[in-house]
Amino acid sequence: MQLFNEINLGNIRGDLFGGVTAAVIALPMALAFGVASGAGAEAGLYGAILVGLVAALFGGSPTLISEPTGPMTVVFTAVIAKLIASDPESGMAMAFTVVIMAGMFQILFGVMRLGKYVTLMPYTVVSGFMSGIGIILIILQIGPVLGQPAPGGGVIGVVENLPVLVSGLQVDEAALAILTLAILFLIPNKSKQYLPPPLVALVVCTLISVLLFSPTDIRRIGEIPTGLPDFQLPVFSSQQWGTMLVDAIVLGMLGCIDALLTSVIADSITRKRHKSDKELVGQGIGNIMSGLFGGLPGAGATMGTVVNIQAGARTALSGLIRAVILLVVVLWAAGLTSVIPLAVLSGIALKVGVDIIDWSFLKRAHLISGKGALITYGVILLTVFVDLIAAVGAGLFIANIMTITRLSELQGDDVKAITDPDSADSDTNDIELSAREKEILRDAKGKIMLLYLRGTMIFGSSRAITRKNSQIGGCHTLVVDVTDVKHLGVSAALALEDSILEMINAGREVYIVTSREQSLQRLGKLGVLKKIPEENIVDSRLIALERIRDRDSVPGKSQTFNDGAVVST
């Protein structure tokens, strides 16, 4: 695996413009997320610099911009609140330790080459989870938008204190928040490429607040420490160890999903293909560094990535340039951010929450699938009002059960049993039998059963095989045709074994028809093939039927049937 990301000077102009544009977008977002999380504006800036720098250097998606995102901020906000409530003195330090642990899990996922599996989640669950996070982010900004500190207790705390928040409305700050939202929503699409809405809202509303209000009239960010951040050793608590571990897994998984989904978007624009596992390693190292220096966790940011590419970026040099520009702001221009009103940042964060909600799918979910819509809405409710882990766990469980049920139905349709070729049932109509095969089956008068399987036979097909086995009745010969089976799973093989052994134990004959090595190996390892004469294992259905016909036509080999048992005469 190549150590560094794709970095070269062949597109330096485009990468320079992309990096500068991405930095302009990142500054207000980082400040907003830092304040929204409760860790402070500087934590947002540190996260934007460190995650962005390291992920660009060691990641696997050249144009991906990594920084604190809405979903990561919402989860981290809950982690901070939980750990500070249990340990006010060391809670914040433990929260940053969780970021470090999350980065370690991301590296582990990358090393184990799980990148291609991370995004294999039902869209109904992903949509519900992301929409739920967007709603949480909106609700948490209600207090700041109204000019008041956000009450504790997360979403439930805000909902319970909503009358108090409304009655304590601060008109000046609420007006700034509304103006911020107006700019973000109303700025023309044609202008967004040259005038990033978050930056326009930040500059315009800050200037208005400086010109019209005194420094004490409204709440502002205040002084941000200049210079490099201090190194923070990880802090652990034996009482909170289990909670920290679970939070780290959730944060790490969410970061993986966020980064890889954004990488896919970048691939669709640049027509390149990212390296999933390498990207996870880069994201993990970036979050470890961010946690060690008191920065927010980060992941691939869709807005920053798209703007970066549209500005001309094609290699990871743009991500490095972006990080350097933000570092310059922290080292020499942090004092300029002290007058930014908190209401403006809350307006920006609220708009991010609105954008995270999957409006496109939600308004059509019930039309596409009623069951899928219920899963999505259920995940949203659990995410907002119960727990993020419970929401994803319940959504995945229900979605997988529904998928397995549907898969079983589809696989059941690929298991056919035929004794009478002239029957009008669907099994006969779905198999292309030659005239000779139909003739032999017709002459057998129901004494031969053809069990035909096709496609991928996994656990969902075992019940169908068992049901078809009940139709054997008075048949003296079973022909199992698995020629068109692409993969024979363990459950399906065991169900076939039961059918075959039932026939053999009753003194009846069994033929296996296949030319696929995988099917033969699977049945062979079960020991089934040892109980079947070698000449009864053929690669053509017609050959099997011809041999059955020839056997029954040989003098002394004809057979009569009594209660379904075979008796030689």
Name the region of 488 (left: φ>0; alpha: ψ -120 to 50; beta: rest).
beta
At 496-520, the pLDDT tens digits run: 888 888 888 888 889 999 888 888 8
Q: Which residue has the tokens 């993990």?
A: 284
Buried b (16+ CB within 10 A) or exposed e, 419-450: bbbeeeeebbeebebeeebbebbeebeebbbb
Q: Whose CA is closest to 47, among 262, 307, 292?
A: 292
pLDDT at 26 over 80: yes
Residue with tokens 């209000």: 213
The total of other beta-carbon atoms located within 10 Å of residue 141's CB is: 25
pLDDT band at 428 (very low <50, low <70, confident <90, very high): low
pLDDT tens for 547-560 read 888 876 644 444 43
Q: Percentage of the chain with pLDDT > 70?
A: 94
Q: How far, in Å, CA of 109 to CA of 103, rounded?
A: 10
Intervals of CATH 3.30.750.24 along the chain: 414-568
CA 53 to CA 32: how far, in whole Å?
A: 20
Quote the pLDDT of residue 553: 60
User: Which pLDDT score is estimated for 319?
Assistant: 93
Q: How far apart (Å, rounded) are the C-alpha atoms in residues 380 and 129?
A: 6
Q: Of 14, 31, 27, 132, which Cα lies nearest the Cα of 345?
A: 31
How far, in Å, are 8, 414, 502, 540 from residue 481 at the CA level?
57, 12, 17, 9
pLDDT of residue 30: 92
- Rounded Cα distance between 241 and 262, Å, is 31
Continuous segment of H or E residues that includes residue 496: helix 490-505
Q: Which CATH class is domain 414-568?
A: alpha beta
pLDDT tens-place string over residues 99-144 = 999 999 999 999 999 888 876 778 888 889 889 989 999 999 999 9
Give the pLDDT confidence score for residue 558 in this predicted structure: 42
Residue 167 tokens read as 């009655």
First-residue to last-residue Cα distance in the chain: 70
DSSP states along 533-550: -GGGEES-HHHHHHHHHH
What's the DSSP call for residue 2? -
Q: Tell me: the pLDDT tens digits for 76-103?
A: 999 999 999 888 989 999 999 999 999 9
Rounded Cα–Cα distance for residues 441 and 420 (Å): 6
Question: 226: which 2 tokens?
Answer: 């200049």
Please report the pLDDT score of residue 1 as a whole number: 54
Report the mean per-residue pLDDT for the chain: 86
470 CB neighbour count, 10 Å cutoff: 9
- 220 forms beta bridges with 341
Cα(185)–Cα(532) distance, integer angstroms: 73
Please provide the size of the chain in residues: 569
